[in-house]
Structure 1
């Protein structure tokens, strides 16, 4: 037979009500907590989620919906979420929009049907007005990671994309670059707008030259970066290139090498994201490191507060500043 709360209480030498309080996230004495952890581990006890749902109308389960759960880029966000949810004794269940051929709006019923207590949506694509309006109109606990369109009625967490590009341009300017080209991203990705805005604003702020032909779009792939760099080199005149993600920066780097240019001797190239390979290519890539773990923590903290209906719940857009990582892909012109 499966162990029960009564078995846990007997082994930990405490009462069933104390076990219940502990399992529901309420504080207990430190020595009692240690005894309960030991008993639960020894008995391999697992709470009956269905029974808890009937008694409390809660599941202690958080649903994580990612547009593509297989995307390694999301692993840091998921680790941050798990750290916080585990600390509050919530379990996570994961759903992939791509695998299920569903959009985020199709998962809203999970809370209303009592399958989870709250949802975290992770996507860096532009979100539909229909989804944002539905979230505003319903009272179920939801936090968005990625695009939130600066909506003040929805808690959303994202990297400060505009600030990241701003830091790259200012770094290049500090080492003497005044002619800077830019590879933008795809139009269906929310960050594209903010990163492009960061590029234009930083040039204006520093009084640097702006040329329309120095901005080329891409699909954020290595192939897209290669093609964009080839297009930019038809015009030339720039000393540095800001690629709006690392994949395009790597493609641009390969294109430059194949056409006989040297990086950073002939061009400085920087990226955005700090993916794993950025520190292994040659030259190692100067880039912007996204605070993915912190984004996951912030999203989970916000969801826990909403589910607990605490006074400090804020419905706002939270932007976390990324970090400039300087490596060897830039030349100092001073």
Structure 2
């Protein structure tokens, strides 16, 4: 058995209650504080976390559940969550349900079993209505990042992809483009739905006709973008292409260059997400940057308001964060129609 709080008190020549006050962050006299610190170091004392949890009825842990831990977009989100959690004296436990036989809803059991004080569920996939209903009925602190099914009774954090995609259309319009093609993504991703909605709305606002032949689909991969662009090039007539994510845009860029087109003199291409490689391809990719760090910060702040009981009763529903258009070299003035 390791050293106890009694051993620390005895070596520091003080009482157990004084040591307990110190360990719980309360102020003690400076000489006593120094004596306790010295005793802790000499004894290599570590407080009993399980006993502390029983006393405080808290674990000082939150769970962050993602659909796939290898997703590059989650690193910024996780940094934001950790930043807030560490400031609150909490640690994070990370789970990836891509490698789990169950889905994200099963991780609510961590709350029911008292293993964590709160859960942040992170996924870009569309969530099933029955899962959202169960999340809403959970009496414990839960915050969503990503799809909330349009419910205003669940706290969720998401990027305003509608406005992000609309910003691209308005930018291309300002460069003189009217023949604008679009490469969509997978139907089961909520962001794909919102980005196409933003594109469609902006085209209507600007009185630009959407040509169905210029709307194709990809799987949001480099290869998918390459193949989608080859489909478009067989149809001709457009002067700009909006790819609904950067990997798609990079594949589209390669297909256009192989076809002998100069980007941006003959064709403009825009992506979405601002992944690192977007600034390194040639020409560098104009895209939309998602505020991943802020997503994590907002979600964690909302969760801790729930944990601490300081939640604003009006602070429910979807928190939409604004993305930012990043202008680089892949877009130019509209050329004469090919």
TM-score (norm 1): 0.90
Deviation at 1:28, TM superposition (A): 5.8
**Change in 2 beyond 3 A, CA 1:276/1:208:** same
1:281 & 1:80 partners in 2: Cα distance?
28
Contact 2:129–2:149 (CA under 8 A) maintained in structure 1:
no
Alignment match, 1:303: 303
Contact 1:158–1:295 (CA under 8 A) maintained in structure 2:
yes
Alignment match, 2:333: 332
Alignment match, 2:22: 19
**Change in 2 beyond 3 A, CA 1:258/1:3:** farther
Q: 1:188 and 2:192 equivalent?
A: no
Deviation at 1:8, TM superposition (A): 7.4
Deviation at 1:49, TM superposition (A): 2.5
**Change in 2 beyond 3 A, CA 1:47/1:84:** farther
Gaps of 5+ in 2: none
Alignment match, 2:319: 318
1:4 & 1:175 partners in 2: Cα distance?
71
Contact 1:145–1:299 (CA under 8 A) maintained in structure 2:
yes
Deviation at 1:5, TM superposition (A): 5.4
Contact 2:8–2:40 (CA under 8 A) maintained in structure 1:
no
Contact 1:268–1:330 (CA under 8 A) maintained in structure 2:
yes
1:39 & 1:180 partners in 2: Cα distance?
70
Contact 2:155–2:317 (CA under 8 A) maintained in structure 1:
yes
Deviations 1:184-223 (A, max 9, x none): 1100101111000000000011112211111111110111
**Change in 2 beyond 3 A, CA 1:311/1:251:** closer
1:164 & 1:242 partners in 2: Cα distance?
12
Deviation at 1:173, TM superposition (A): 1.1
After TM superposition, list the pairs within 5 Å mapping 1:8-87 onto structure 2. 15-22=18-25, 46-87=46-87
Contact 1:246–1:274 (CA under 8 A) maintained in structure 2:
yes
SS of equivalent to 1:181: strand
1:94 & 1:145 partners in 2: Cα distance?
14
Alignment match, 1:110: 110
Deviation at 1:316, TM superposition (A): 1.1
Deviation at 1:73, TM superposition (A): 1.6
Contact 2:269–2:330 (CA under 8 A) maintained in structure 1:
yes
After TM superposition, list the pairs within 5 Å mapping 1:210-221 onto structure 2. 210-221=210-221
Deviation at 1:102, TM superposition (A): 2.1
Deviation at 1:20, TM superposition (A): 4.2
1:187 & 1:142 partners in 2: Cα distance?
26
TM-score (norm 2): 0.89
Gaps of 5+ in 1: none
Q: CA RMSD in A?
A: 2.6
Q: How many residues align?
A: 327
Contact 1:77–1:296 (CA under 8 A) maintained in structure 2:
yes
Between stretches 255-264 and 286-295, larger displacement belongs to 255-264
After TM superposition, list the pairs within 5 Å mapping 1:159-174 onto structure 2. 159-174=159-174
Deviation at 1:39, TM superposition (A): 7.2
SS of equivalent to 1:238: coil
Deviation at 1:109, TM superposition (A): 0.6
Contact 1:246–1:271 (CA under 8 A) maintained in structure 2:
yes
Deviations 1:23-52 (A, max 9, x none): xxxx769x99x979x879967765433112
Contact 1:8–1:19 (CA under 8 A) maintained in structure 2:
no
Contact 1:186–1:220 (CA under 8 A) maintained in structure 2:
yes
**Change in 2 beyond 3 A, CA 1:234/1:21:** same
Alignment match, 1:89: 89
